[in-house]
Amino acid sequence: MITIENLNKYYGDVKVLNDISIDIKKGEMFAIVGHSGAGKSTLLRCINGLEDYSDGSLRVNNKEIKSLNKQQLREFRKNIGMIFQHFSLIQRKTVFENVALPMQLWGYSKEEISKKVKELLALVGLDQKLNAYPNQLSGGQKQRVAIARALTLNPDVLLSDEATSALDPNTTTSILNLLKEINEKLNITIVLVTHEMEVVKQIAQKALLLEHGNIIGFDDTEELFLKPDEKMKDFLGETEVVPNDGVNIKLYFPKDNAYQSFITKMARELDMDFNIVWGKLEEINSHIVGNMVINIKDEDRQVVTNYIKEHDIVWEVL
Ligand SMILES: Nc1ncnc2c1ncn2[C@@H]1O[C@H](COP(=O)(O)OP(=O)(O)OP(=O)(O)O)[C@@H](O)[C@H]1O
């Protein structure tokens, strides 16, 4: 649904996006991740036509954004909702009026507006706050209003630019759950920009990692976290400290395998002791995944690796 090929973007002489090629599928929950200045917001703004790109191709629903004229761009943007870190609500308007605004601008009737706004405010859990003003709401509630407003014109795509960055962890989780619900109920493609890995883990099915405008990772979220390559490890700031003696083997437990007692079973069946150097389990996309490093004696290498190979476990010798 969103296809980007060899996209480059300059601000003056400075290249801020370098040869970006990605594909975002309909209904996908997609994250663009990176440190500050990586080019995340610029890429998001290119997707909704707010920012021009220097060369390459960016198609949404098979429409090349740069070939659209002003009127076509306006129509196109109707199909794209957007939410921001600081909510962008109008302080002197009520919750109802804020959400109604896009429909008013597009000339919908009062009845249509009233029906849709109430329906959306119920969806985001704010049907009791129709007449409240933004300054009477918490940060999480404000973002819920902004989400409802972004959905009024029935968009195909919802773009989120650091929508949870100003919120505490619990409120972040509740907003992410709401986005998940919207994604599933309305089959809306959601592209979210974030610098928080926790957000990616909690919600994204696929992620793009950007650094200085370059792609350093583009894969299913589980793959990225379960088996990070060197660049991803650098990005996460992870270093692996392992013993110098013996053989260090890293085991990856995908999805449902994580809970299985593979390690104790192996120790029992091979009648062998080994050290667990470190391990971690994480919840990614509601699945438990994890990895673990064990240290074995040199002479046990063959028998242990044979045993691992017989089981459906991804592994590597460090
Ligand atoms: N309008 C502009 N004019 C010139 N340079 C810009 C402009 N907007 C962004 N930049 C530069 O482009 C680069 C990418 O910025 P961008 O805002 O896309 O990064 P980001 O990953 O979203 O960062 P942050 O998380 O801090 O918002 C940065 O070096 C920034 O200084």
Complex-level ipTM: 0.94
Residue 128 sits at φ, ψ, to 5 deg, of -90, 0
pLDDT at 83: 96
User: What's the CA gap between 52 and 35, in Å, rounded?
Assistant: 22
CATH class of domain segment(s) 247-317 = alpha beta
In the chain, where the domains are located: 2-233, 247-317
User: What's the CA gap between 152 and 232, in Å, rounded?
Assistant: 38
Is the Cα torsion angle 224, 230, 231, 236 positive or negative in sign? positive
138 C-alpha to center of ligand 1: Å? 29
pTM, whole model, 2 decimals? 0.85
**Minimum CA distance residue for ligand 1 atom 16:** 39
pLDDT < 70 positions in the chain: 238-239, 255-260
Residue with tokens 């793009």: 208
Task: Please tell me if the domain spanning 2-233 has the same topology as the one spanning 247-317.
Answer: no
pLDDT at 255: 64
pLDDT at 48: 92
37 C-alpha to center of ligand 1: Å? 5
Mutate to test the pocket of ligand 1, among 41, 47, 164 (most ligand atoms within 8 A of CB): 41
CA–CA distances in Å: residue 154 to residues 81, 188, 318: 8, 9, 50
14 C-alpha to center of ligand 1: Å? 11
Ligand 1 pocket, Cβ-based, cut-off 6 angstroms: 11, 16, 34, 36-42, 195
CATH architecture of the domain 2-233 equals: 3-Layer(aba) Sandwich (3.40)
